[in-house]
Amino acid sequence: MSNTILILDTATENCSAALSFQGQLFADEAEAPREHSQRILPMVESLLSQAGITLNDIDAIAFGRGPGSFTGIRIGTAMVQGLALGADKPVVPLSNLAAMAQGAINAGASEVIAAIDARMDEVYFGHYRAVDGLAVLVGEEVVIRPEAIQAQLDAIDVATVAVGTGFETYPQLLQNPLISINADCRLPSAAMMMPLAQFGFAKGDAVPVEAVEPVYLRNEVAWKKLPGRE
């Protein structure tokens, strides 16, 4: 039987929550980039109500830890810290790039490249491979200029699915005929993350709330954006 896991994600334009309870998936999402802080808690409360449980009944809380919008990541991190601290629950941090890759793998993809528009002429990028139905990172997640990965993508020699807003912003990355876009996975969602959350929790990836940290990839910019450093 799957564990009871609540997931929330505000790291990109998409605000979403998902709950797995007794084999059922409850989920909600809205593409509302400036309303995450107002929308996420009502979403969580609605899902718990639909399942007929409270926060105390769940096994763990998972969340999209980035990369993505600096503001969105901070909102999600703060929300999950508050919920996990109040209910004394462990936290499973999940990659937003992996979430989109998992969405494509759920739809049948074997090789996936994920890119989120990082602004400043860069993308957050990761390459994933399906292993037992789960998105497994090949190499590392990076923040990089599109032209720096052009040759790598042009050299792909197996059918590969592209996901994420990075490919909308930089369509030239999709010149290789073996790369196809999955438009349903242009943004991550909490529902996409559920297989990764279940697997991560089962293998012991949950951390105590005080160990929860966001992942910006572009840490020097995040540092400059801290209060007093704009």
Amino acid making up residue 30: A
> What CA–CA distance (Å, rounded) separates 126 from 73?
18
Q: What is the CATH number of the domain that holds 58?
A: 3.30.420.40
Residues 148 and 194 reside in one and the same domain: no
Residue 218 confidence (pLDDT): 80
CB burial readout 54-86, b (16+ within 10 A) else e? ebeebbbbbbbbbbbbbebbbbbbebbbebbee
Tokens of 58: 């769940």
Inside any domain, residue 130: yes
Inside any domain, residue 67: yes
Residues 195 and 91 reside in one and the same domain: yes
Q: Computed from CA positions of residues 89, 92, 96, 99, in that sequence, does the dihedral angle turn out positive or negative?
A: negative
- CA-wise closest residue to 102 among 136, 149, 79: 136
Residue 25 confidence (pLDDT): 98
Domain that holds residue 203: 5-95+189-224
Residues 141 and 194 reside in one and the same domain: no
- Quote the number of domains for the chain: 2
CB-count exposure of residue 137 (10 Å: 0-12, 13-18, 19+) = middle
Tokens of 165: 């807003």
Residues 80 and 40 reside in one and the same domain: yes
pLDDT digit string (tens) for 136-188?
A: 999 999 999 999 999 999 999 999 999 999 999 999 999 999 999 999 999 99
> What CA–CA distance (Å, rounded) separates 190 from 39?
14
pLDDT digit string (tens) for 21-47?
A: 999 999 999 999 899 999 999 999 999
Give yes or no for residue 87 having a pLDDT over 90: yes
Residues 168 and 120 reside in one and the same domain: yes
pLDDT digit string (tens) for 187-230?
A: 999 999 999 999 999 999 999 999 998 999 886 443 333 344 33
User: What's the gap between Cα 168 and its chain centre?
Assistant: 18
Tokens of 175: 């010149």
